[in-house]
A and B are shown apart, each in its own frame.
Chain A
Amino acid sequence: MPNQNIVIDKANKYYPGGVHAVNNMSMEISEGEFVVFVGPSGCGKTTLLRMIAGLEDIHGGTISMGGRVLNDVAPKDRDMAMVFQNYALYPNMKVYDNIAFPLKMRKAKKVEIDAAVREVARKLDLEQLLERRPGALSGGQRQRVALARAMVRKPKLFLMDEPLSNLDAKLRVQMRREIVGLQSELGVTTIYVTHDQTEAMTMGDRIAVMRDGVLQQFDTPEVIYDRPANLFTAGFIGSPPMNVWPLGEGFPLPPGMTPPDRATHAGIRPEFIVPADEPDRQAVQMRVRGVERTGRETLVFLEREGLPDLAMAAGSDFDARPGDSMRVRLRTEALRFM
């Protein structure tokens, strides 16, 4: 059997009014990989997911899986399962029937359906809820049922459209871990859409950062965080985002460091700005504009006329107050160019 890689080749999508929702998108997703589409609202991530699912027409380019072009294949024949943001559970059916629905549609035998439903219900801790209707479930339980319905028929691809956005923060963290665990256990290729960069960073094997329908960067979370390809990725991934300034302004580059030819900006992550001692000649004096304590770390926002504002991430015990003056140093080995 050929590998089931997903290949998106110059895919385009236009909406009425000339909106170019997906613009010449190309990427290859390997079989078994967990890929996250991330970007701000309106960046085209959900549209691309729906194009892969067959819920939106493709207006140019191709999307294929295992070498088979899917452009004209009906959603039901694509062997994909999708988890929707609002769960999309059938309210007229019990949990058991919701989970069994994809197998019934494929005319599986009753015995097989029952075995598959009970197995997936056990895996997702839904055994006690099988006779209830979706209306009688909590948000987290509904989410599990939606996952169970997607998993029950062992599709070639899972598509997840912001499945955790309706859950509270604590449950979101828990479900995040569960989804990653299940995906790794099942080994099914998964495409996950979110606007939450923490979800993207913690869940994905690779992340596709998108903006205005254009792919900005497609790489592992480590590379995207450490070496953002452009200003947008540098600003979108990381909280607070990377400190960025135009080359030639702001902080001078250390002697011997030459930026790449096409680079226009330099940047550094907040954790690579450190307090400096008096005799440090590379340090600069800056004023503390604000301080945010997250418990695990202290974020210090610095300013000085003629220099770009900086965000510094220090330890939780770091003591600074707005209005203080302090010397800081940029760890130049962590400087990046875009």
Chain B
Amino acid sequence: MRARKWLILCILTFVAFFLLTPLWLLVSGSLMGGAEAAQNFAPVLENAEGSAVWPLLPKYPTLQPLVKLLLDSPEFFRMFWNSCLQVFPLVAGQIFIGAPAAWAFARYDFRGKKALLLLYIVLMLMPFQVTMVSSYLVLSRLSLMDTVWAIILPGAASTFPVFIMTRFFAAIPASLTEAAALDGASPFRVFLRVGLPMGAPGILSAVVLGFFEYWNALEVPLTFLKDPTNWPLSLYLPSISADNLGISLAASVVMLVPALLIFLFGQKYLEQGICAAGLKEN
């Protein structure tokens, strides 16, 4: 039994090592000076002879790329702000629109409920590429192209959070909502006072999954935002040239921070959400 435990620990450590290596290299790369980076990666970036070297620790660690990024890259801040401006209202919108819809699916019986839920699931399973053209046409007709609303509105109306939250709301015992109704709560107050607090894990799952999806989104902003001044941070990294490799790695680290914080805060809910959705990844 003990040997088996050790074996499992060894295997997991081995796997974890492989998973953590890129993250470690990213951090170590972000502490690498420009000259050292150019020297190490010259065979890849400039077709120089020999092979590229990515040391576990830089020879001369420096915060120079980070300082340059944070103090000398106004476009980074603009795009970081763009990301916040797009993702936070979008996720809030998902909850604002999705939670009542999910509550209705979970707690009420109405004509056409099954067909409507099926439609939601079909829409949820459709990749962005399928709905891209129609979304483009609608946004264009509404003159919303190249505005922050082109990202927020379609995202806020996403069916995925509705699906996640429906599962959680449905698990609330009926006796609780019935007790609230008998205690004098109107249907809206039952939702507000019992549904929302009891369904909080589902809502947080939807928040965490939604945040990850849109914080890292590439295709949606590339399609709907022509003006680079509106681009989110996820489009900053591809736009950095090879000369600024250190800054690029530092930007990657900074971009990871909010996602990492959200992950640490919402890991439990993220797992519950993934279980509820029956999906491995979003």
Contacts and interface: CB of A to CB of B under 8 A. Distances in A.
A53 B174 CA distance: 14
B50 interface: no
B173 A86 contact: yes
Nearest to A83: B179
B180 A101 contact: yes
B113 interface: no
A78 B198 CA distance: 26
Contact of B185 (A78, A92, A105): A105
Nearest to B183: A102
A82 B197 CA distance: 22
Contacts of A105: 180, 183-185, 189
A80 B182 contact: yes
Contacts of B184: 76, 102, 105-106, 153
B198 A75 contact: no
A91 B194 CA distance: 9
Interface in B186-201: 186, 189, 193-194, 197-198, 200
Interface residues of B, number: 18
B152 to A, nearest CB: 30
A88 B219 CA distance: 47
B180 A82 contact: no
B189 A88 contact: no
A184 B186 CA distance: 31
A88 B179 contact: yes
Given A76-B186, A105-B189, A88 B175 contact: yes
Interface string A5-22: 000000000000000000
B120 to A, nearest CB: 24
Residue of B175, B183, B200 most packed against chain A (CB within 10 A): B183
A276 B240 CA distance: 108
A74 B187 CA distance: 10
Nearest to B196: A92
A144 interface: no
A149 interface: yes
A86 B175 contact: yes
A84 interface: yes
B56 interface: no
Nearest to B197: A92
Given A55-B181, A76-B181, A82-B182, 10 more contacts: A54-B181, A76-B182, A76-B183, A84-B179, A85-B175, A90-B176, A90-B193, A92-B197, A101-B180, A102-B184
16 contacts: A54-B181, A75-B178, A76-B181, A76-B183, A78-B182, A81-B182, A82-B178, A84-B178, A86-B175, A88-B175, A90-B180, A90-B194, A90-B198, A91-B198, A105-B185, A105-B189
Interface of A: 53-55, 74-76, 78, 80-82, 84-86, 88, 90-92, 101-102, 105-106, 149, 153
